[in-house]
Structure 1
Amino acid sequence: MMGFSRDEDDDDGTTSPTSSAMPNEDSRDKKRMYMRRKAQMYRARDKAAATELREEAHALECHLQSLRQKGSSTRAAIGAVPWGEVARTRLHAKHEAVAANENLRRQLQDCAGVIQDLMARVDKRDLHMFQSPDTMKKDGCHRGMAGEERRPSPPRPAYVVKTEERSPGRVHQLQQHRQQHHQQHQQHHHHQHQQHHQHHQHHQHMRASQRLHLPPLRQALSGNLPRPPQAPSTQLRSPMHCLPLRPPPPYSAPPPNGSGPRETQQPSFAHDGRPVPSRPPLHELGITRKHFI
């Protein structure tokens, strides 16, 4: 057989079978080495993971053993506790709490009784200053049925006599006061045009006091209780009782057609005693007696 030399190949420019087989073997060797190294790398990684897993399993086993030991000691401690004594202590504490609750409830009931007693005393003391609750309820019910606004009832007329005042001597005194009041009203009737402004202010004050009417309980809670009367008065309680009673001046007819000297006016006073500024007579302003009839 004839052999082929490298020189001939170089000269002829052809390849021999020996030279063509060498690159294939080299590539296979390289591939084997690469796979071997890769397998070694995977094997080392798996060994490290297995080592970590073994260490973690050992730690978990140690923790489980410690938990078992603690559980056995806890069960032993629980078994040593006298449950009967614990139950008796809890029952005793429960009885003490129930007794304290009952004591507080009794104290609240006593305080409520005392408060109701004080409220009844305040209402009894201030009863003469306000209308009866039954009367106020009836008035409010009737006005509510009629569709009107619920307002406090008007003050009691002077001729109404209380139940406790119905005695012969008391009735006689009231009749005398009633006659005196009627005479004074007749005397003041001719000079009513001079005191019209004063009376108008007084009635406005009375209406404002009626609008600001408060029940005794609300006044007691707000602390604005009026002072109780020192002695029972026999005077009539009428809208005119707070005005100063003076003898009226002699009546003089106004001059015809506004001629003649201006009549002298008596100084007038308001319901609280303050003087009212003087003004011209009403007949000069075009106001006559027919406006007051």
Structure 2
Amino acid sequence: MYNFDFVKPSTVEEAVAALQDDEAQPLSGGQTLIPSMKQRLNAPGTLVSLLGIEALKGISVSDGVMTIGGTTTHATVAAQADAYPALAYLAGQIGDPAVRNRGTIGGSLANNDPAACYPAAALASGATIVTNTREIAADDFFQGMFTTDLEEGEIITAVKFPIPEAANYQKFEQPASRFALTAVFVAKYADGVRVAITGASEEGVFRWAEAEDALSNSFSAEALSALAVPANDMITDLHGTAEYRAHLCKVLTGRAVSAIS
């Protein structure tokens, strides 16, 4: 590690002001940032901790929408998101207890790791990412591997999840890291079905539009029988080939639909 300044503001306004420094970076759970600093892949001059801002913590439900503060931990979501069971289940499958008690939903979404769990939930739920300056639809927020629509100095303050009629998350995890080798989140709403896949594509989280159309017409695993996810843009690594991940997309979607049905 190396020398850096550390500040812990108590309000969003103070945090935004501190982040005006070109060498400053926000720190939420730190589950990616701190390891990257230890490996000297990242060298911020100042860390601006968001964990002292109470307004960014907590879960509430109103008019069919669950709002989760940006620095709410995975463990808290797992324990308290009762109104959205599939989301609570997803949070409980992230990493191990140490990661779940430090990692935050805002940090995960801002990092947009291609194998992270929360991006699939946000995209499948049609969530809205709330920042200190605006609201961003999940469909516009995720823009590729480790890339989002966030601007410099912009902070995720909350995430709004419309609660579906039913939902399910199926995760085929990589045992060592507990990231998703491939995972699928299926959410069924009155106006249709949304399917988001993480861990499979080189472009990061994505919606499987063909499956959404088929399931919106007939919500059954059989509706997927004639479909296939192209392997062209899938990840190939020592854990699995592109073809294997493409196959998992269909299998896990079918399992999620069967679990809901």
Query: What TM-score does the superposition give when structure 1 sets the normalisation length?
Result: 0.21
Structure ID, larger Rg: 1
